[in-house]
Amino acid sequence: MKTIASIAALVALCIGLTACNTWSGVKQDAKEVGQAAGRGIEKAGEKIQDVAK
């Protein structure tokens, strides 16, 4: 019975560590998407200013 509990705990630990890495990857991707969107909006604003001149 201890062996099954040990295996279950090990599997849970592995899943937990995988989720942490995945979550930080998701956060990094979201940050990069936000920065790319900001650059796009900035370029669009510059184009509008150029057209308005």
Provide the percentage of residues in the chain whose pLDDT is more than 70. 89
State if pTM tops 0.85. no
Residue 35 resides in a domain:
yes
Provide the domain count of the chain.
1
Residue 20 resides in a domain:
no
Residue 2: which of 42, 14, 10 has the closest Cα? 10
Answer whether residue 43 shows pLDDT above 70: yes
Residue 43 resides in a domain:
yes
Domain of 31 in residue numbering reads as 26-53
